[in-house]
Chain A
Amino acid sequence: MVSGKQDGVLTGAFYLDGDHACAEGAIAAGCNFVAGYPITPSTEIVERLAQRFPQAGGTFIQMEDEIASSIAIQGAVWGGAKAMTVSSGPGISLMMEHIGLAAMAEVPCVIVNVQRGGPSTGLPTLPAQADMMQARWGSHGDYEIIALCPNSPQECFDLVIRAFNLSEQYRLPVLFMMDEVVGHMTEKVVIPPRETLTIVPRRYTQLSPAEYLPFRAGPDLVPDIVKAGDGYRFHVTGLTHDERGYPVMNAGCQDGLVRRLVDKVRKNADKIQQFDADQLEGADVVVISYGITSRVTMRSVQEARARGVKVGHLRLIVVWPFPETLIRKLATQVRGLVVPEINLGQMVLEVERCAGGHCKVVPVPHAGGAVHDPALITEAIVEAAR
């Protein structure tokens, strides 16, 4: 066990819970500004950062609420920081307007959601995976985000670094979708030497102020960035804006901007997606899971295989953008897709959409407050194989 009093970026093997591992991952990713507000079960992340930032180099501010937290980080980005906010349940709901602003103004930032049971206050100390659709659709208007789902403290470290990298590469808010169990479970976390980590730097423009247009994108559909006060023309707004960043409110400009915001994710989806595939080839049934439910599913898959079922396991690591092409292909190869999740049916809707009636889609819903009994998933697998 390590206390939060180490200097700089940690390296070595530690015994950490997911919340603390996430905090260490953010430091390793170069995050140097975090704004947050206490809320269970995410508070340990900001408590750790409040202790660690003074040694590691960074600022944590406890804000007056989540509305302020989710916009302070955007101010910090325009000042030149890598920034993150952390919350759960009601706090994430309060952040929704600012997630939309980050998408619209193309602000690279990470929003950690340690999911708990809802709606409303729900189950503050118990798990759920019921914010998956909120992550994708929670703010108004058309936009795309990226969302990742770690299933262990190790992944809370590893994947929050990828979350920062994706946010920098595509200039958008990345939602890091933990849950109460992953946040509070304690396991071995190996932190490699810092020089071996891949850290994507901010894509500052190489152009001169005379040449630069803040929202003119290159072939990857992502514009390069400047920070406020660097001598470049700088105007950031949530209004529909042209390549100069100035509001132009007509259908033509809206079409160009919003399509690009959406396409920069959709057209780069293959590069963004990440999943674990376990024996998909020749499978009669494939279980599609993510987050803590994937750990439970491993047991169910073992049991089903012991009962003679040819079952594969697809674990989604990047959940948004959804791996549509892969699911479409799988649906033509298997008898059934089984989707356990700690909600009453969210990602299974995407699976059904992509399966397009080519195979059975079997949801294994759970209302939250605990993880699944593995036997429930096993039975669904056996049933789907019939």
Chain B
Amino acid sequence: MSTAPTPTKEQLSDYCHNLLRPGNTNCAGCGMSMGLQWLDEALGEDRPTLVIPACCGIVTAGAFPTSAYGVPTVAATFASAPAVATGVSVVYRLNNEDRPTVCWTGDGGTYDIGVATLSAAAERNEDMIYVCYDNEIYGNTGGQRSSATPEGVVTSTTEKGKAERKKDMMAIMAGHRIPYAATLSLAHREDFLRKVRRARSLRGFKFFLILSPCPTGWKSEAEDSVDLIRLAVRSGLFPVYEVFGGVRYRVNVQPDGTPVEEYMKRQRRYTKGKTDAAVLRRFIEDQWHYLNGMVRAFPAGPND
């Protein structure tokens, strides 16, 4: 017997209106949950249709009675979210319905198996917002490496730490010359909301990358999640920036030189394999060498 009070009709209506309903099965400290709530806030009354491939995001949609999405949700196959979203968004346009179509995908579905449909939808400049919540691991199957996993990280298929660097998905998407691509920080709410609203105002393909903490996979504490993202931004590991038309760059938050060790030491995925911080420092250095070069050569304009 439930002892919870019966919700009023008004409360029930609020509850149903949430994009991510309370009572879902997501882990505490899940970055994806935060991202969904901020997406909801940014879009306001503008109700999106979600297209979600195999990932923790579709587990969120999961089994009754904990099914958690308060907006229309299409579960795509693993490799195909942008292709499904193409069908959805094109028909909305045909029917003169101005509704946002949002692909909500993990890094496996974005960086690995889904990269062909992602690239093709971007090339066609389909009208959708594509969000990758990147937790740098296959979380749904218990924590295997993906091509978004940083060098040195221990996963169930990289026992001695991953040998390869993380793929630069932002550069790949900018290379498609899409109207808008940006990274979203879960420690910078105003920046996050502004960028999503900006994307909503643009026609064509918009790409977002969220570094999304996963306490289960990162072997971190749930209450550290937002702090970890702040440290990732400050250390320069996760740059917060936007790219207009694929060629005009703007950095939104400058790193402040916080040592990346501060970020690493709070996650056993790094400490377990005794990952050398120099590996990440070199990555950060190379990343900013490239990014600063782009900003200098191709700065965003006043109208961007």
Min C-beta distance of A92 to chain B, whole Å = 13
Is A90's CB under 8 angstroms from B144's CB?
A: no
Could you say which residues of chain A place their CB within 8 Å of the CB of B113? 37, 64-65
Could you say which residues of chain B place their CB within 8 Å of the CB of A37? 112-113
User: Given A64-B115, A121-B54 in contact, is the A40-B159 Cβ separation under 8 Å?
Assistant: no
User: Given A38-B138, A43-B141 in contact, is the A120-B159 Cβ separation under 8 Å?
Assistant: no
CB-contacts of A251-274 with B (<8 A)? none
Could you say which residues of chain B place their CB within 8 Å of the CB of A50? 156-159
Say whether B225 faces chain A, with CB atoms less than 8 Å apart.
no
A351 to B290, CA, bound (A): 65
Report which residue of A50, A51, A120 has the largest number of chain B beta carbons within 10 angstroms of its beta carbon. A50
Say whether B145 faces chain A, with CB atoms less than 8 Å apart.
yes
CB-contacts of B59-80 with A (<8 A)? 75, 77-79
Partner of A47, one of B75, B78, B112, B144: B144
Is A47's CB under 8 angstroms from B115's CB?
A: no
Could you say which residues of chain B place their CB within 8 Å of the CB of A176? none
Q: Residues of A with Cβ closer than 8 Å to B? A: 37-40, 43, 46-47, 50-51, 54, 60, 62, 64-65, 90, 94, 120-121
Is A47's CB under 8 angstroms from B156's CB?
A: yes
Q: Residues of B with Cβ closer than 8 Å to A? A: 54, 75, 77-79, 108, 112-113, 115, 138, 141-142, 144-145, 147, 156-160
Report which residue of A64, A90, A120 has the largest number of chain B beta carbons within 10 angstroms of its beta carbon. A64
A211 to B138, CA, bound (A): 50
A51 to B75, CA, bound (A): 33
User: Given A47-B157, A65-B113 in contact, is the A90-B78 Cβ separation under 8 Å?
Assistant: yes
Sample of 21 A–B contacts (CB below 8 Å) = A37-B113, A38-B138, A38-B142, A38-B144, A38-B157, A40-B141, A43-B141, A46-B157, A47-B142, A47-B156, A47-B157, A50-B157, A50-B159, A54-B160, A60-B157, A64-B147, A65-B79, A90-B77, A90-B78, A120-B77, A121-B77
Question: 8 tightest CB-CB pairs across the interface, nearest first?
Answer: A65-B113, A38-B141, A64-B112, A50-B157, A38-B144, A38-B138, A47-B156, A62-B157
Is B144's CB under 8 angstroms from A62's CB?
A: yes
Question: Assuming A51-B159, A62-B157, A121-B54, what are 16 further A-B pairs, CB within 8 angstroms?
Answer: A38-B108, A38-B138, A38-B144, A38-B157, A40-B141, A46-B144, A47-B144, A50-B159, A54-B159, A60-B157, A62-B144, A64-B113, A65-B112, A90-B77, A90-B78, A121-B75
A51 to B155, CA, bound (A): 11
Is A39's CB under 8 angstroms from B158's CB?
A: no
Residue on B with the closest CB to A41?
B141
Min C-beta distance of B304 to chain A, whole Å = 33
A37 to B162, CA, bound (A): 16
Number of A-B contacts (CB under 8 A): 47
Could you say which residues of chain A place their CB within 8 Å of the CB of B108? 38
Min C-beta distance of A57 to chain B, whole Å = 16
Residue on A with the closest CB to B111?
A64
User: Given A46-B157, A47-B156, A50-B157 in contact, is the A62-B141 Cβ separation under 8 Å?
Assistant: no
A42 to B159, CA, bound (A): 18
A121 to B77, CA, bound (A): 8
A61 to B130, CA, bound (A): 28
Could you say which residues of chain A place their CB within 8 Å of the CB of B156? 43, 47, 50
Could you say which residues of chain B place their CB within 8 Å of the CB of A64? 112-113, 115, 147
Residue on A with the closest CB to B79?
A65
Residue on A with the closest CB to B54?
A121
A54 to B112, CA, bound (A): 24
A128 to B138, CA, bound (A): 24
Min C-beta distance of A163 to chain B, whole Å = 23
Is B142's CB under 8 angstroms from A43's CB?
A: yes
Residue on A with the closest CB to B159?
A51
A94 to B142, CA, bound (A): 21
Report which residue of A39, A54, A120 has the largest number of chain B beta carbons within 10 angstroms of its beta carbon. A39
Min C-beta distance of B182 to chain A, whole Å = 25
Residue on A with the closest CB to B114?
A65
Is B77's CB under 8 angstroms from A43's CB?
A: no
Report which residue of A37, A46, A90, A94 has the largest number of chain B beta carbons within 10 angstroms of its beta carbon. A37
Is B144's CB under 8 angstroms from A43's CB?
A: yes
Could you say which residues of chain B place their CB within 8 Å of the CB of A51? 159
Min C-beta distance of B61 to chain A, whole Å = 11
Report which residue of B77, B115, B156 has the largest number of chain A beta carbons within 10 angstroms of its beta carbon. B156
Report which residue of A43, A47, A62 has the largest number of chain B beta carbons within 10 angstroms of its beta carbon. A62
Min C-beta distance of B291 to chain A, whole Å = 25
Min C-beta distance of A31 to chain B, whole Å = 17
Min C-beta distance of A127 to chain B, whole Å = 17
Residue on A with the closest CB to B108?
A38
